[in-house]
Amino acid sequence: MTGNRQVIQKVARWSVRLVFLAAAVGLALGSPLPGVLVRVFPGLSPLVAAASSVAQRRWYLGAYWFGPPLAVLLLAIWKGRLFCRWACPAGTLYAIPSRLSLRKHFLKVRLNAYLFWTIVGASLVGAPLLLFLDPLSTFNRLTPLLTGTYTVASLVPGLLLPIVLLLGVFQPMIWCTHVCPLGYAFELARSIRREPKRTFLNSRRQVLSGLLLGAPLAGLTRWLLLKKDRYDRAPVLPPGADGMEAFAAACTRCYACVDACPYGLIRVRFDLDRAVGQLFQPELHYLDSETGVPCGYCPEWCNACTKVCPAGAIRPLAPDEKRHRQVGVAKVVREACLAWEDKEDCSVCQEVCPYQAVTLEHTPDGRAQPTVDKDLCRGCGACYSNCPAIRAGKAIFVTGVEQQRQVADAGGGAG
Amino acid sequence: MATRHECGWDRQVTRRDFMHMGLAAGGAVVLAEGLSPAAEAGGAKTDVWVLHGTDKKALMQAAMKVIADHGGLGKDAKKVTLKVNAAWWSTPDEGGNTHPELVDAFLKGCRDQGVKELVMPEHPVQPAAQTFPQSGLLAVAKSNGAAMLDMKAETKRWQDVTLPNAKTLKKAQMPKDVLQTDALVNMPVAKHHGGAGLTLAMKNWMGSVQDRRFLHRNDLHQCIADFATYIRPAWTIIDATRIMLDKGPKGPTQNLKKLDLLIVSKDQVAADAYTATLFPKDLADRTKYIQIAAEMKLGTADLSQMALHKIEAS
Q: How does strand A396-406 pair with strand A266-267?
A: unpaired
Measured between beta carbons, the chain A residues lying within 8 angstroms of B220 are 344-346
Provide the mean pLDDT of chain A: 89
Closest Cα in chain B, distance from residue A368 (Å): 6
What is the bridge-based pairing of β-strands A368-372 and A358-362? antiparallel
Q: Answer yes or no: do B255 and A368 touch at CB < 8 A.
A: no
Give A254-270 as a DSSP string. --HHHHH-TTS-EE---
Domain count for chain B: 1
Amino acid at the residue A101: S
C-alpha pair distances (Å), B201 with each of A232, B187, B224: 44, 7, 10
Residue A234 DSSP symbol: P
pLDDT of residue A403: 94
User: Residue B18: its pLDDT value, please?
Assistant: 41
The mean-pLDDT minimum among A113-122, B155-164, B216-225, B260-269 falls in A113-122
Instruction: Find the largest Cα–Cα distance for chain B.
Output: 49
Q: Report CB contact under 8 Å: A346, B217.
A: yes
- pLDDT exceeds cutoff 70 at B221: yes
Distance CA A405, CA A394 (A): 26
Task: Write phi, then psi, for B168 (nearest 5 degrees).
Answer: -120, -50
Contact B220 A345 (CB under 8 A): yes
pLDDT, residue A34, reads 84
Range of weakest confidence among A65-69, A258-262, A274-278, B303-307: A274-278
- Examine the pLDDT at A322 and tell me if it is beyond 60: yes
- Residue B78 pLDDT exceeds 90: yes
**Model confidence at A111: pLDDT above 80:** yes
Q: What is the pLDDT of residue A290?
A: 66
Rounded to an integer, what distance in angstroms lies between the CA atom of residue A348 and that of residue B213? 9
Taking 80 as the threshold, does the pLDDT of residue B157 lie above it? yes
Choose the mutation target among B90, B204, B217, B291 for the interface with A, i.e. most A CBs under 10 Å: B217
Local confidence band at B35 (pLDDT 50, 70, 90 cut-offs): very low
Read off the pLDDT of each residue in B170-184 and give the average, rounded to a whole number: 96
Confidence of residue A2 (pLDDT cuts 50, 70, 90): low
Inter-chain CB pairs, A–B, below 8 Å: 82
Geometric angle at alpha carbon A320, from A314 and A321, rounded to 5°:
40
Residues B89 and A300 sit within 8 Å (Cβ to Cβ): yes
Residue of B212, B250, B286 lying closest to A366 (CB–CB) = B286
Domains of chain A: 3-224 (no CATH), 324-410 (3.30.70.20)
- A323, B218, B249 from A411: Cα distances, Å: 15, 33, 16
- Residue with more model confidence, A38 or A206: A38
CB B191, CB B88: distance < 8 Å: no
High-pLDDT (> 90) share of chain B, %: 82
Closest residue in B to A344 (Cα) is B219
User: Between B6 and A348, where is the model more confident?
Assistant: A348
Q: How confident is the model at residue B152 (pLDDT cuts 50, 70, 90)?
A: very high
Least-confidence region, from A135-139, A144-148, B151-155, B232-236: A144-148
Mean pLDDT, range A335-350, rounded to an integer: 94
Residues B83-110 pLDDT 10s? 999 999 999 999 999 999 999 999 999 9
Q: What pLDDT is recorded for position B34?
A: 40
**Closest-CA residue of chain A to B250:** A351
Neighbouring-strand partners of residue B173: B160
Which residue of B lies nearest to A367 if distances are taken between CA atoms?
Answer: B195
Angle at the Cα of A409 from the Cα atoms of A406 and A410, rounded to 5 degrees:
140
In whole angstroms, give the CA distance from residue B129 to residue B121: 14
Cβ distance B125 to A344 less than 8 Å, yes or no, reads no
Per-residue model confidence (pLDDT) at position B170: 96
The Cα-based distances of B49 to B262, B264, B270 in angstroms read 8, 5, 10
The interface residues of chain A toward chain B in range 324-383, judged by CB-CB distance below 8 A, are 338-339, 342, 344-348, 350-354, 356, 360, 362, 366, 368
pTM: 0.85
**Residues in a beta bridge with B174:** B159
**Stretch A112-138: mean pLDDT:** 90
Q: What was the pLDDT predicted at B156? A: 96
pLDDT in tens, B127-144: 999 999 999 999 999 999
Strands B46-52 and B306-312: parallel
Under 8 Å between Cβ of A147 and A37: no
Bigger pLDDT: A204 vs B225: B225
Contact between chains at B195 and A346 (C-beta distance less than 8 A): yes
Residues 6+ apart with CB under 8 A from B283: B192, B197, B198, B245, B276
Would the pLDDT of B28 be above 70?
no
Average pLDDT of every residue of chain B:
88
Please state the φ and ψ torsions of residue A77, each to the nearest 5 degrees: -65, -35
With contact defined as beta carbons under 8 Å apart, do A65 and A39 qualify?
Answer: yes
The reply to whether residue A388 touches residue B247, judged by beta carbons under 8 angstroms, is no
Q: Considering CB atoms only, which of B126, B127, B194 is closest to A347?
A: B194
B264: Cα separation from own chain's centroid = 10
Name the residue in chain B with its Cα closest to that of A365.
B286
| Residues spanned by the domain of B248 | 2-312
Nearest to B273 by CA among B212, B219, B228: B228
Ramachandran quadrant class, A161 (left: phi over 0; alpha: psi -120 to 50; beta: rest): alpha
Closest partner residue to B195 among A342, A351, A390, by Cβ? A351
A370-396, pLDDT tens digit by residue? 999 999 999 999 999 999 999 999 999
User: Using one digit for the tens of pLDDT, what is the confidence trace for A152-167?
Assistant: 888 888 999 999 999 9
List the CATH number of the domain containing B98. 3.40.50
**Cross-chain Cβ contact B216/A348 below 8 Å:** yes
Q: Write down the pLDDT at residue B314.
A: 78
pLDDT band at B14 (very low <50, low <70, confident <90, very high): very low
* Interface contact flag, B288 A366, Cβ < 8 Å: yes
Are B216 and A346 inside 8 Å of each other by CB?
yes
CA distance A196 to A345: 76
The rounded distance, in Å, linking the Cα atoms of A10 and A1 is 13
Could you tell me which residues come within 8 angstroms of residue A190 by beta carbon, excluding any fewer than 6 positions away?
A76, A77, A78, A79, A80, A81
For residues B131 and B86, give the distance between their C-alpha atoms in angstroms, rounded to a whole number: 6
Residue predicted with more confidence, B149 or A57: B149
Question: Which among A346, A352, A360 is the nearest to B220, CB-wise?
Answer: A346
pLDDT tens digits along A223-277: 777 777 788 889 999 999 988 988 998 999 999 999 999 988 999 988 888 888 8
Mean pLDDT within A67-87 = 94
Can you tell me the distance from the alpha carbon of B181 to that of A315, in angstroms, rounded to the nearest whole number?
51
pLDDT at B12 over 80: no
pLDDT, tens digit, 9 for 90 and up, residues B115-128? 999 999 999 999 99
* Residues of chain B with C-beta less than 8 angstroms from the C-beta of A347: 193-196
CB contact under 8 A, A299 and B219: no
| pLDDT over 70 percentage in chain B | 86
